[in-house]
Amino acid sequence: MTDKLAEFLDNSFTAYHAAENAAALLLKNGFVPLSETEDWSLAEGGKYFVVRGGSAIVAFTVNGLDRFAFRIVASHTDSPALKIKENAVEMTGPYARLNAETYGGGLWYTFFDRPLKIAGRLVVKEDGEIRTRTAESDFFVSVPSLAVHMNRGVNDGFAVNAQTDLQPLLGLFPDGAPDFPALLSDKEILSYDLFLVNAQPAYTFGANGEFLASPRIDNLTSVYSSLEALLAQGESGGICVAACLDNEEVGSRTMQGAGGDFLENVLRRIAYALKFDDSEYYKALASSFFISLDNGHALHPNHPEKCDPTNRPVPGGGVVIKTHANKAYTTDALSSAVVKEIFSRAGVKYQTFFNRSDMPSGGTLGAISSGHVGVLSADLGIAQLAMHSACECFARSDYDELVSGLTAYYSSDILFTEEGIKLR
C-alpha cells in the first residue's frame, strides 16, 4: 500500500504541490471541485472538495442524511524547509547563493549536502491576469558543509547559523548574478513563495524492507492516508471530511491553517447547502467526532531514555493514540475509548504515546482547530523516527494499519446518546 504513498511523497515537494496532487487524486475518483466564491449545490451521495490558498484542501462525502453529523480527519500539508527570500541571489566570487530563511522547526544540520530542489508557487502575469502556478526546478542546488579541517570542533558540537550556514549554492556564474527566479519559468513573474526542499526519492530499508524513509513523512503520510480512507469508506451516515490544512509547522494561524476559518466555513456551508439551519448545525457538531492526524515519536533505538517509561510506541506496533495532560493533544479518556473500540472491531493495532513528564510536548493542529470547531477529538498518528529531519522514516506496516483504521472510522456511525456513545 505504501507504493502510492511513496509516489505522493516524491511529488509533493511543498504544501502547494501536496494540495494540487490531492485535488488530482480526488478528481480522478469522481469528486466535484467547489469554489469559495460561488454557491454550492450538494446532494446526498455526492463527493466534493474545495481548495484555499493553493495549499489547503478540504474533501468530503455526503452520505445518508437521516443522521446529520461530521466525522472529520484533519492533517497538515506543510513540512519544515528553507524559504527563499526576495532579491535572493548573493554573490561570493563566482558562487551564486540563495538567501533563505528557515520555515518551521527543522533539524537543520540534516539539510546539508542533500539534493535540494527549488519548489513552491510562482505568481505570474498571464493574459492580463495575476495567476498562481506550482513550480519546481529541473536542477538541484545544495548546502555544502564546511570541511572538518576548517572547523575542527564540529564533531564536539555544532550550532547551525541560519543566515551563514544554510544559504544554498545555486551555481557558478563568473559573469555576474543570474536572473532569479526566471530560471524557473519564462512567464512574467511578479512574486513567489519558493522553498528549498529535499528532492531525495522515498526508499525502503531494513533487512526485510520494513521501513520507508522519505522527506515530508511528517505530515504527508497523514494527508494521503486520510484521502485513501475517504475513497475507501463503506456505507454510513453523515458527512465524512478530510481536511488537509497548511502552516501547522509555524503555528497554523493563517487563513489556510487550522487557526483560520477554512474548516469551520466549509462545515457551515455544507449545512447551509443541505438546508440545515443553525440549530441543526450546532446539534450536528455536538454529535460529531474529530481526529487530529499528525505523527508521533517512536522509541529511538539509540536513545530509549528519551521515551516515557511505560508508554513506548515502536515501529510496527500500530497506530499511535497521543495524550497529554496539558492538552497539547486533544485526546481524553472518552475520545480514546471511541477510537480504541472502532479499531478493535476492525482488527487494527494501536498503541499509546505520552511524552516523558520532564520533557515539553510538541503540538498539533487539533487543539487549534477545537477553538473554531468544538467537537469531541483524539490525536492519532504513525510512530516515526527522525521527525523534522530532511529525511524521516517509519514502519510500512503502520501505514497500512492507519489506512484501515481511518477507513473503519469513516465507515462507522458514532451515536451520542443520553447514556453514552454507541457505535454501529
Residue-by-residue DSSP string for 192-247: EEEEEEE-PPPEEESTTS-EEEETTHHHHHHHHHHHHHHHH--S-BSEEEEEEES-
Q: In what order do the strands lie in the sheet containing 350-353? A: 32-34, 47-52, 56-62, 239-245, 70-76, 289-293, 376-381, 319-322, 350-353
Predicted confidence at residue 363, as pLDDT, reads 82
In this structure, what are the phi and psi dihedrals at residue 340, rounded to the nearest 5 degrees?
-60, -40
Residue with cell 454529535: 287
Q: In this structure, what C-alpha cell is assigned to residue 230?
A: 475517504
Which CA distances in Å does 85 have to 123, 181, 198? 14, 11, 18
Note whether 397 and 221 are within 8 A (CB): no
Predicted confidence at residue 230, as pLDDT, reads 98
Q: Is the N-terminal amide bond of 181 cis, ω within 30° of 0?
A: yes
Q: Rounded to an integer, what distance in angstroms lies between the CA atom of residue 168 and that of residue 127? A: 34
Note whether 63 and 409 are within 8 A (CB): no
pTM greater than 0.95: yes
Taking alpha carbons only, the member of 223, 207, 218 closest to residue 393 is 218
- CA distance between the termini of the chain: 27
Distance of CA 208 to the CA centre of its chain: 28
Q: In what order do the strands lie in the sheet containing 383-385? A: 203-205, 211-214, 392-395, 383-385, 296-297
Q: Rounded to an integer, what distance in angstroms lies between the CA atom of residue 276 and that of residue 370? A: 22
pLDDT tens, position by position, for the chain (424 residues)? 789 999 999 999 999 999 999 999 999 999 999 999 999 999 999 999 999 999 999 999 999 999 999 999 999 999 999 999 999 999 999 999 999 999 999 999 999 999 999 999 999 999 999 999 999 999 999 999 999 999 999 999 999 999 999 999 999 999 999 999 999 999 999 999 999 999 999 999 999 999 999 999 999 999 999 999 999 999 899 999 999 999 999 999 999 999 999 999 999 999 999 999 999 999 999 999 999 999 999 999 999 999 999 999 999 999 999 999 999 999 999 999 999 999 999 999 999 999 999 998 888 899 889 888 999 999 999 999 999 999 999 999 999 999 999 999 999 999 999 889 999 8
Predicted confidence at residue 161, as pLDDT, reads 96
Predicted confidence at residue 388, as pLDDT, reads 98
The type of residue at 5 is L
Angle between helix 217-232 and helix 396-410 axes, rounded to 10 deg: 40
CA-derived radius of gyration, the chain: 22
**Sign of the CA dihedral running 160, 163, 169, 173:** negative
List CB contacts of 317: < 8 A, sequence separation 6 or more.
349, 351, 383, 398
Q: Is the N-terminal amide bond of 208 cis, ω within 30° of 0?
A: no
Q: Rounded to an integer, what distance in angstroms lies between the CA atom of residue 83 and that of residue 248? A: 15
Predicted confidence at residue 148, as pLDDT, reads 95
Q: What are the pLDDT digits (tens) for 201-214?
A: 999 999 999 999 99
Note whether 178 and 118 are within 8 A (CB): no
| Sequence-ordered alpha helix ranges (H) in 351-395 | 365-369
Note whether 393 and 211 are within 8 A (CB): yes
Helix, strand and coil percent figures for the chain, each rounded to 5: 25, 30, 40
